[in-house]
Structures are given as structure tokens and as C-alpha cells.
Chain A
Amino acid sequence: QKEVEQDPGPLSVPEGAIVSLNCTYSNSAFQYFMWYRQYSRKGPELLMYTYSSGNKEDGRFTAQVDKSSKYISLFIRDSQPSDSATYLCAMNGLNSGGSNYKLTFGKGTLLTVNP
């Protein structure tokens, strides 16, 4: 089983739709959860950062973490054409060795928002 699973899509939605992006993971040591947005030919840009379980909202974006189910989600409300990008989930946490500097990424979901 892969450490992080993310549906690659592609996902195509009309402008104004609510978008739901998801990742599942297998490593119960993960505590820090991130969502990155990557535009074509650009680097990943940090979008949301959460610690442990719960919700975090920032404008049109909401990140949810359910550690009991090992499941994280990113919701985009009132989606815009400018939201068209690849969305990467990433996570990290202390491993049995005492520390872990490596972010574990999902493979990314390609989202297109059509005008």
C-alpha cells in the first residue's frame, strides 16, 4: 500500500462549482498536513497547512483532516478559472527514528475550472 494515495483526475468542473479534492494515507505518524497548488511550469505553492485533525478555512478554501480515517480533503467554493492547476497533498510527522524532514506527497490532482 502506498503511503499517500491521491486520485490524479483529471477533474473538470464549471465555474462556480464546489470542488472536493482528497487524499488517503497509511502512516499513522503523520501529524502535519498541507495542500499545495501547482500551476503549469511553476513550483508548488503552499495553499493550506493544518496540524492534526480538524478543519481550517481560508477564504474560498477549506482543509479537513480526519486522522481516525486517515483521510484529508480540500474544498474549493465558488471555483474560478484561475483555480485551474494541479493540487498536491503533502504530509509529515515524527517517525520511529525521532524526526522526519521528508514531506510525503500525493501524485497530484489536475483540476480544470471551465468558464
Chain B
Amino acid sequence: NAGVTQTPKFRVLKTGQSMTLLCAQDMNHEYMYWYRQDPGMGLRLIHYSVGEGTTAKGEVPDGYNVSRLKKQNFLLGLESAAPSQTSVYFCASSRAGTGGSQPQHFGDGTRLSIL
């Protein structure tokens, strides 16, 4: 019963490098989300997707891109990593529902450090 799986679990990058974080869910959920969690800031939504091939910006989208080519996968890309992007990144998924009526289920996160 995997639920939401994130890879990698840890990564250290140098400023300017690029990388992709992978999220996979096996619950057949329509919606998927990417959050970052920082001390004192809580969880903040980066991007989300309400279906295969569709993505939308959250509250802190700058410096990130996303793609949802398959229903079960949601990729988060950092094109040119900056120290301000050092954070813990969480992926979540939920069933479709109006007005955010469905609870979200989270993976265990990717800890990313940018030097």
C-alpha cells in the first residue's frame, strides 16, 4: 500500500544546477500538488494539477516548473537552483471534488539543500 511515493528522498545541489523531483501515486487520484515546507512558514503550495496534461500555479511558483504527462505522476523541476529553494518538498494527491472538498494525502518528502 504505497500511496504517494517521492524520489529522491535527499539531494544536495550546487547553485545553478537543475534537477527533477518525481512524485508517483497509486490511488488513481485526479488531483496532485507540490508543496514546500520551511521552518516558520508552514506548508506552501507551489503548483498543482487537476488532471493529466493540466497544471496551475500555486502561491509560490517562481523558479519551479511542473509536468503531468501521466495521471499517476507529477514532476517538479528546478531549472536553476538557488539557495532560497533549500527546503523540504512534499507531494500530495486527492480525489476530484469541488471547493477542495477532498482531503489530500502526502508523501514523505524530498529534503533538498542548495549550496
**Contact (A102, B90) CB under 8 Å given A43-B108, A44-B43, A44-B106:** no
A42 within 8 A of B: yes
**Contact (A43, B106) CB under 8 Å given A101-B50, A106-B42:** yes
Q: Please report the total number of B residues contacting A with Cβ < 8 Å.
A: 26
Q: Is the interface of A mostly helix, strand, loop or mixed?
A: loop
Query: A102-115: contact bitstring with B at CB < 8 Å (1 yes, 0 no)?
Result: 11011110000000
Q: Do residues B108 and A42 form an inter-chain contact, with CB atoms below 8 A? A: yes
B residues less than 8 Å from A103 (CB atoms): 43, 45, 100, 104
Q: Do residues B99 and A107 form an inter-chain contact, with CB atoms below 8 A? A: no
Q: Do residues B45 and A102 form an inter-chain contact, with CB atoms below 8 A? A: yes
Q: Do residues B100 and A100 form an inter-chain contact, with CB atoms below 8 A? A: yes
Q: Do residues B106 and A101 form an inter-chain contact, with CB atoms below 8 A? A: no
Q: Do residues B108 and A94 form an inter-chain contact, with CB atoms below 8 A? A: no
B31 within 8 A of A: yes
A108 to B41, CA, bound (A): 10
Q: Please report the total number of A residues contacting B with Cβ < 8 Å.
A: 25
B residues less than 8 Å from A100 (CB atoms): 99-100
Question: In the complex, what residue of chain B is closest to A39 when comparing beta carbons?
Answer: B108
Select the residue from A92, A93, A108 with max chain B CB neighbours within 10 A.
A92
Question: In the complex, what residue of chain B is closest to A107 when comparing beta carbons?
Answer: B42
B59 within 8 A of A: yes
A45 within 8 A of B: yes
Query: A77-104: contact bitstring with B at CB < 8 Å (1 yes, 0 no)?
Result: 0000000000010001110000111110
A53 within 8 A of B: no
Q: Can you list 27 A-B pairs with a CB-CB distance of less than 8 A?
A: A32-B100, A32-B103, A36-B106, A41-B108, A41-B111, A43-B90, A43-B106, A43-B108, A44-B43, A46-B105, A49-B103, A88-B42, A92-B99, A92-B101, A93-B100, A99-B99, A100-B99, A101-B33, A101-B100, A102-B45, A102-B48, A102-B58, A102-B100, A103-B104, A105-B43, A107-B42, A108-B42
